[in-house]
Structure 1
């Protein structure tokens, strides 16, 4: 079976609960993780450690870059105030705590071991399979080459569909949180683009606060409530 999971946001315990509900990770299952593993939640470093180990030990694990990983990279490489502010505005505080980065420090290189950065830099912006495009945010089909617009893949929330580029394949993405019930209703429709982000880290918002996995073979959604908060 093939599964897609998005927007874990440091919620390690919830991720483990979801994997247990799926019935563990095995060589018979292929997993696609669609970005945003860090920030806002309590265990960003632990989530990264788990994914790094998974990727090293199994060739059925596919991991895509999200906008939160990109913000971390930009702050790491450039140390600019604007990059730091943008990352902080988007929930970097807990990630910085995980790596023992003092508040207000722009040069974070000495605090984050390089293998985390190497891992994030190795992550593609999207993956194409026989039936799907998997991406964090979406694609900009107004661009002459949507598959070169990496910024849109990370940040866009206004998705459309252009069969000229997608060849009839379905787009699965995260980034934009919607209630589980709405995701399930969307999956029943004939649309060719779906968000599977059920707002795991937003437990305080009504109808959100779930982490979901989409079975790409059956198009059935598997969800667990956040247990990290």
Structure 2
């Protein structure tokens, strides 16, 4: 079966719409519609996280064949809303969500909430409860952590090698780098993930990283998967995404 996939969006609604336009163009050329998998990190860093969530919610409500996975940045919003948590222990640098390098303040600004590292979390949470629709929090909380198909596992960050999918830990699926990125064993299905920003999407043989750095201003490039074969979608058409020789 065919699947399209889109990596980390990070609040860039225009880039998301452009990625969907490239997918629609590819479907028009091939005459073969297919589901679209969004790999998480819908929010943070970009200017319109609220718009991204509203766009995806509206598409799903309209019956679009879309799947949206949860990313670690998405979990920041739900945790702050529910429990006023700003620090995830998986952030090795000790940064809190409002630090400009993580981008939580930009997300809340898209809802009209001013937040900073020096702000009072109690007051910020109170304003968040007033201005962030709880439906958006329910949406994030409901997002699955992965989607498994016959040939591909779609997930935000990656998997813990050697662990069955039903035994994977949420923190690994949302955060893992060490122990996964350097592992070159065959996981069975191809692992398609984001989370680790590259200069452009890349194929490593046993995995594909689709995070081309949209959160840092680079293009959001969607991909097509048929079995384990992969193509990037460009304005001019498909570009084969082959395993690197490195």
Q: TM-score range by the shorter chain?
A: 0.7 to 0.9
Cα deviations across residues 39-94 of structure 1 (Å, max 9, x unaligned)? 101111111111001111225211100001101111111014546x6211311111
Cα deviations across residues 23-52 of structure 1 (Å, max 9, x unaligned)? 258992310000011110111111111100
Residue 91 (structure 2) pairs with residue 78 (structure 1): no
Check 1:59–1:22 CA distance in 2 against 1; reply closer, same or farther (3 A cut): closer
The answer to whether the 8 A contact 1:99-1:111 is kept is yes
Residue 195 (structure 2) pairs with residue 175 (structure 1): yes
Q: CA RMSD in A?
A: 2.4
Aligned residues: 209
Q: Find the aligned partners of 1:67 and 1:61 in 2 and give their Cα distance.
A: 20
Q: Please point out which of 48, 57, 60 is paired with 2:62.
A: 57
The farther-off stretch of 87-96 and 40-49 is 87-96
Q: Please point out which of 214, 217, 222 is paired with 2:223.
A: 214
Q: 1:206 maps to what in 2?
A: none
Q: How does 1:147-158 map to 2 (within 5 A)?
A: 147-158=167-178
Q: 1:227 maps to what in 2?
A: none
Gaps of 5+ in 2: 89-94, 236-246
Check 1:109–1:148 CA distance in 2 against 1; reply closer, same or farther (3 A cut): farther
Q: Please point out which of 213, 229, 241 is paired with 1:199.
A: 213
Check 1:151–1:223 CA distance in 2 against 1; reply closer, same or farther (3 A cut): farther
The SS at the match of 1:119 is: helix
Q: Find the aligned partners of 1:81 and 1:120 in 2 and give their Cα distance.
A: 17
Cα deviations across residues 142-200 of structure 1 (Å, max 9, x unaligned)? 6677743000111112313665xx4x2110000011122x61xx3xx6x1111111101
> Offset at 1:18?
1.9
Q: Please point out which of 99, 107, 110 is paired with 1:95.
A: 107
Q: Please point out which of 28, 41, 48 is paired with 2:53.
A: 48
TM-score by length of 2: 0.76
> Offset at 1:17?
1.6
Q: Find the aligned partners of 2:21 and 2:154 in 1 and give their Cα distance.
A: 23
TM-score by length of 1: 0.82
Q: Find the aligned partners of 2:85 and 2:64 in 1 and give their Cα distance.
A: 36
